[in-house]
Structure 1
Amino acid sequence: MRDIKITAPNGPLEAMVSVPEGSGPWPGVVVVHDVIGYSPDNRRTTARICAQGYVTITPNLFSRGRVRCITSAFRSLFTRTGPTVDDILAAREHLLAMPECSGPVGIVGFCMGGQFALLLSPRGFAASAPFYGTPLPRGLDEALDASCPVVASFGRRDPLGIGAGERLTKVVEARNITADVKVYPDVGHSFANQLPAQPLLRITGFGYDEAATEDAWSRVFAFFDTHLRAG
């Protein structure tokens, strides 16, 4: 894994890139972090995906200044345009330019990043894997027109996403989008992220859960094997 800077429309952008061992090329995956931003958890996630045989890039969406970038990110969730969208797409273009990347690129996102993974699913990605992208973005039905296949994971106890899994299921069915949507009954928000202060997070409906995490990743990798490798 190495830290790099990539070219983006709004200036250089920090990113982590990880390339599998062995002989490629491999499909690519863009990882979109949550609102907390870069943390040791991002490195664990990047390493996990790379170990499954994917060239992986995690752009630091807050690398130009945290407050300004968070404001811009949430504005982009409403408009589906702006610097944050540009940065995520620039990360994908960086992957596509790498000789180690075979071509198809998926997107994985958590919390805020999960919202972006959903919104950008029609924007040239081969598969999208949002983890609790809640609250679901406004205008989701329109936003998912011509979406790539989606494998989504939610927690029933997520205070930010009550009914999110059921709502997304209705949208993908209405749009005839290939999808695997699962709601884990005993977990809340951020169940696949190992963040600080876990006991407090669980009280507030957040927090890591190993069993749900492992099941969700097994679904994601099976889905990606079908839609990225075969693609």
Structure 2
Amino acid sequence: MAEVDLSALARARGGSQRLAGRLARPAGEGPWPGVVMLHEAFGIDEVMNRQVERLARAGYLTLMPDLYSDGGARRCLVSTLRAMGSGRGRAYADIEASRQWLLDQPDCTGRVGVLGFCMGGGFALMTVGTGFDAASSNYGMLPKDLDRALADSCPVVLSYGGRDLGLRGATAKLESALERAGVVHDSKEYPSAGHSFLNDGEVGPRVLRPLLRVAGVGPEPEAAADAWRRIEAFFAEHLGGPVDAG
């Protein structure tokens, strides 16, 4: 995995003064479709890094911007969450800078998707109409004005947990809004899963992990395997695969 400096692109769009990203390339020769991956509220850790590598193995040039680059998680968490809810803030410029960086790469096909988990899933829902070719929101918070957010949406694949009490009813609300907007979508709620079920390990400060387990937050391998299968099939349909450059 490589480190990418996105600062100049972000600053030019009114985003973070300093923006770092993690990039994973698929094996073999491209070009490949690109994906901007958006991390959970706890920020980038080894679990999130493995998610980037997983998507790269599936054939996608995958870039994960660190939305906490300009100050760290403690200073940026609250403002970033507020931005997600309001639809305004430098995080959106940072996400667009990441999309543009991928488009500028010679080994990108020119089709770019967005995929997010938790907080990142909320941002994915808020950016479905901003130029991405496909989106995947995984237990992301719903936009306050769903119909407005989804009015010009690209195709969307959604995965939520039935035991995620903070997002109870989210799947049904999203399905209804997407159908009203005429957006191609694939949505599924997993009864056995809670929040963060797509992770392959626990996240967050160790002191909080026992509480998170009690709240049903954490891995659910069976549901995760099915969700990844659906995401990869959906992205293959709407983003395509590697193109023989020769």
Flag whether TM exceeds 0.5 (same fold): yes
Establish whether residue 34 from structure 1 lines up as the match of residue 40 from structure 2. Answer: yes
Gap regions ≥5 residues in structure 1: none
Whether the 8 Å CA contact 1:72–1:84 is kept in 2: the answer is: no
State the alpha-carbon separation in 1 of the partners of residues 108 and 65 from structure 2. 17
- Report the counterpart of residue 60 of structure 1 in structure 2: 66
Establish whether residue 172 from structure 1 lines up as the match of residue 178 from structure 2. Answer: yes
- Report the counterpart of residue 24 of structure 1 in structure 2: 30
RMSD: 1.6
Gap regions ≥5 residues in structure 2: 242-246
TM-score (norm 2): 0.89
Q: 1:160 aligns to what SS in structure 2?
A: helix
Establish whether residue 183 from structure 1 lines up as the match of residue 194 from structure 2. Answer: no
State the alpha-carbon separation in 1 of the partners of residues 81 and 25 from structure 2. 30
- Report the counterpart of residue 244 of structure 2 in structure 1: none
- Report the counterpart of residue 218 of structure 1 in structure 2: 229
Whether the 8 Å CA contact 1:119–1:140 is kept in 2: the answer is: no
- Report the counterpart of residue 167 of structure 2 in structure 1: 161
Establish whether residue 104 from structure 1 lines up as the match of residue 111 from structure 2. Answer: yes
State the alpha-carbon separation in 1 of the partners of residues 229 and 210 from structure 2. 26
Cα shift at 1:68? 3.3
Structure 1 runs of 4+ off > 3 angstroms? 196-200
State the alpha-carbon separation in 1 of the partners of residues 38 and 228 from structure 2. 15
Cα shift at 1:200? 4.4
State the alpha-carbon separation in 1 of the partners of residues 19 and 120 from structure 2. 16
**Any residues of structure 2 matched to 1:35-50 within 5 Å, and which?**
35-50=41-56
Larger RCO (CA within 8 A; separation ≥ 6): 2
Whether the 8 Å CA contact 1:155–1:183 is kept in 2: the answer is: yes
State the alpha-carbon separation in 1 of the partners of residues 237 and 130 from structure 2. 19
Establish whether residue 128 from structure 1 lines up as the match of residue 135 from structure 2. Answer: yes
Cα shift at 1:199? 5.7
Cα displacement string for residues 72-93 of structure 1 (whole angstroms, at most 9, x for unaligned residues):
2122123312101111111111
Identity of aligned residues (%): 42
State the alpha-carbon separation in 1 of the partners of residues 193 and 85 from structure 2. 27
Cα shift at 1:42? 1.2
Aligned match for 2:148, one of 137, 142, 156? 142
Whether the 8 Å CA contact 1:155–1:185 is kept in 2: the answer is: yes
TM-score (norm 1): 0.95
Cα shift at 1:23? 1.3
Whether the 8 Å CA contact 1:14–1:63 is kept in 2: the answer is: yes
- Report the counterpart of residue 75 of structure 1 in structure 2: 82
State the alpha-carbon separation in 2 of the partners of residues 105 and 72 from structure 1. 26
The one-letter code sitting in structure 1 at the alignment partner of 2:168 is I
The one-letter code sitting in structure 2 at the alignment partner of 1:17 is L
